Structure formats: structure tokens, C-alpha cells
Amino acid sequence: MTSKHKSAFTLLELVLVLSLLGILLSFGIPQFSHYTQNACIKKLQLQVLNLKLTLKAQKQQNLATDWNALYQNLDLKPSTCYFEKQKNGFIANDNGRKAYFVLKNLILECQHTKSARLHNGESLCDIF
């Protein structure tokens, strides 16, 4: 004679596991959000640095500013972290916060905007 004894989790065990999972996720999700935001800013900084190096090389060779060559350094695909073209410059877009860059006298300048404020009061221009 065989016994049909099924093993299963008790309600208490399920509640405890779900509670612990909820507590762990409540700490993990904000950290992940902070990580992705920092990654976006680092990506924008690196691309602006590459653009500045290309601009400097053009300047040293006494070449006219070639915007097509400069734009090759930037991620122009619309997403949460990308650049947009504008006349004589570009716009850095970090999750809706924008910093406007213009070229004046062969110098790249960042223009401060209210929408470009970071959580600590700095502007996006301050990190470039």
C-alpha cells in the first residue's frame, strides 16, 4: 500500500519568503536606478571629451569646424540618454534634463538651464 503524501510549502513559509524578497527589492531598486543614472552621465561626459579632442585636433590643423566629424563622437539615437543636434552645437539629454553646448570662437561652451539641475543642486554643465 502506497501513501499519497504530497510535500508543499506552508502558508507561513511563503509569507516569510515574500516578505524578505520585498525588503531586499526595496533596497535594490533605488540603488539600481542611481547606478543607471550615473552610467548615463559618465557616457555623456566621455562622448563630450571625445568631441573636445576631435575639435582640438581640427583646431591644431587649422581646419574649418567639421560638424559631421564632431557629431560622429555623439550618440544621436533618441533614448533616455543621448544628444540632439542644433546649429553650431548640440544638446545633451539625460532623462529629460538638458544641457546646451555651443561653439563660440572654437571653444565649446555649456549653457546652464533650470531643467539641467542635478539632485545636489549642481547643473549638468558643472560635470562637463
Residue 69 located in a structural domain: yes
Residue range 98-122, pLDDT digits in tens: 888 888 877 788 876 666 666 556 6
Mean local confidence (pLDDT), 7-18: 90
Task: Of 13-22, 56-65, 116-125, give the lowest mean pLDDT range.
Answer: 116-125
Q: Which range has the worst mean pLDDT, 24-33, 76-85, 111-120?
A: 111-120
Q: Quick check: is 52 in a domain? A: yes
Is 54 part of any domain?
yes
Rounded to 5 degrees, φ, ψ at 105 are: 55, 45
Alpha-carbon distance 66 to 88, whole Å?
10
**How far apart, in whole angstroms, are the C-alpha atoms of residue 128 and residue 117?**
13
Residue 4 lies in a domain: no
Residue-level pLDDT at 20: 93
Instruction: Report yes or no on 3 lying in a domain.
Output: no
Q: Give pLDDT, residue 27.
A: 83
d(CA 8, CA 16): 15
Owner of C-alpha cell 581646419: 63
Look up residue 25 and give its three cell numbers. 527589492
Residue 48 has pLDDT above 90, yes or no: no
Letter for the amino acid at 10? T
Residue-range definition of the domain harbouring residue 54? 14-127
pTM of this structure: 0.66
- Within-domain flag for 1: no
Per the structure, how many domains does the chain have?
1
Give a yes or no: residue 24 inside a domain.
Answer: yes
Mean pLDDT score, 13-21: 93
Residues in the chain: 128
* Cβ-proximal residues to 47 (8 Å cutoff; 6+ apart), any chain: 73, 74, 75, 83
Angle at 49 between CA 48 and CA 53, to 5 degrees: 115
Does 7 reside within a domain?
no
Alpha-carbon distances of 124 from 13, 29, 53, 75, rounded to whole Å:
48, 24, 20, 17
